[in-house]
Amino acid sequence: MSAFAAVDLGASSGRVMLGRVAPDGLGLEEVHRFPNRPVRTGGTLHWDILALYQGVLDGLRAAGPVASVGIDSWAVDYGLLDASGALLGNPVHYRDARTEGMSEKVSAVLSPAELYAATGLQHLPFNTVYQLTAAQGTPALGIARRLLLIPDLIAYWLTGEAGTELTNASTTQLIDPRTRTWSAPVADALGINLGLFAPLRQPGDRAGELLPQVLSETGLSGPVPVTAVGSHDTASAVAGVPAEGGDFAYIATGTWSLAGLELDAPVLSEDSRRANFTNELGVDGTVRYLRNIMGLWLLQECLRDWGDPDLAPLLAAAADCPPLRSVVDAGAAEFIAPGGMPERLAAACRRTGQPEPRSRAETVRCILDSLALAHRRAIRDASRLSGRPVRVVHVVGGGVRNELLCQLTADACGLPVIAGPVEAAAYGNMLVQARAAGTVSGGLPELRGLLRESLPLRRYEPDPGTAAAWERAEAAVAGG
């Protein structure tokens, strides 16, 4: 059988996609999509993990017979299990305020330079090490016997087998990107017990098979293996970039924009650390050298604040707004927390001496101009710091549907943008499964070739008439 269920849990929605490898190419059908709504209780923001798991079960039922199942999700977050394997509370959301002040606590033990040299990870206040530092002394961590990252937790419930998939493990800030295994010195220095983590798994490894109870809940007949994929959604999305050759950059645009390059080895220089580039691990021994940019979260939060108006007319109006009237730093940690986003954006404009957006359309234009500028800076910095030239930018993820964002990104980068697929993470997820099952073969170049043969992609050419304006905007940000 050549059908595969790709479970992709994003911060804004979860989906189960049915991927098929047919003689005339790859197919991907959305069989179930469900909202991912965080829940605040007792002042703490949580993931509603049981609702997500139920969404996975419903999706597997809708998918029908498959050769295997693969799971990817957002990074860094985890659930704790007690000695009986029961979940100790709902996983805490990475946007929860518990990590405030934890960077300072960690740097008192390991300087930012030492931490970067050991792990190659950009500083994000919610990296798992900071979350675990915040959790120190809590009853749950005290009695926990296992820590499972989100996709590994879902896989555990489906199969009864515990593992830690490598690409997502690399976002904990406890992995050495040179050896691609745990960094005992970092864990020891921070008092983190590596024994909590289940053994590492590589993308393509078998991760067990659906339990009898899961088979009956989903109406599937066994055996149905679960295959470890690039379980960090960004790792699967990068595997699903339909690039040709090596001189491409990618931007995975969804709730976040993850912009950077695929490399063979990490870049651990001091310049790289100062530029806040990360060396997350990718499929097939690759390194995802990238920077986190706030992404469409800025837009999602404005829409939520405005009572969820239709997006299409707002984007059309934003396209008619004056370009680059005001831009904010779309990489700034000040935008991580939820709530009051239109006012926070306006405040950032005021603080930097720029005009405030006067309408919703101008706010949207400010967001998209700011994202495009951040995309440009990330790709240029990544190219400079790694010495890798970039000829073309691939945009994948939900942002592919935002034509204005794709065009502004091409203009800002001064490079052609090839947009698609929207569901790159599900494609990367399914291709790793299909290869493990022996349905397709080859390395990433061959898998990407299959994507190029099967997918409609759209090309955006940069408008040279806008180049000077982007130069000025970049200079203003660099000087500010």
Catalytic residues: 233
292 scored as a contact of ligand LRH (CB under 6 A): yes
Which of 152, 233, 329, 411 forms a contact with ligand LRH (CB under 6 A)?
233
Q: Does 251 engage in binding with ligand ADP (CB under 6 A)? A: no
2 binds, among ligand ADP, ligand LRH, none (CB under 5 to 8 A by kind): none
C-alpha pair distances (Å), 300 with each of 294, 308, 437? 11, 9, 38
Site membership for ligand LRH, residue 234 (CB under 6 A):
yes
> Site map for ligand LRH, 238-277, x if CB under 6 A?
-----------------xx-x-------------------
Q: Out of ligand LRH, ligand ADP, none, which partner does residue 12 contact, by CB within 5 to 8 A per kind? A: ligand ADP
Q: Does 399 bind ligand ADP (CB under 6 A)?
A: yes
The nearest distance, CB 107 to ligand LRH, in angstroms, is 20
Q: Does 293 sit near ligand ADP (CB under 6 A)? A: no
Minimum CB distance to ligand LRH, residue 127 (Å): 9
Does position 74 interact with ligand LRH (CB under 6 A)? The reply is: yes
> Using the rule CB under 6 A, is 390 a contact of ligand LRH?
no
Q: Is 75 in the site for ligand LRH (CB under 6 A)?
A: yes
Give the one entry of ligand LRH, ligand ADP, none that residue 299 binds, where binding means its C-beta sits below a cut-off of 5 to 8 angstroms depending on kind.
ligand ADP
Which residues lie near ligand LRH (CB under 6 A)? 10-11, 74-76, 94, 232-234, 255-256, 258, 292
Which residues lie near ligand ADP (CB under 6 A)? 10-13, 254-255, 296, 299-300, 311, 397-399, 401-402
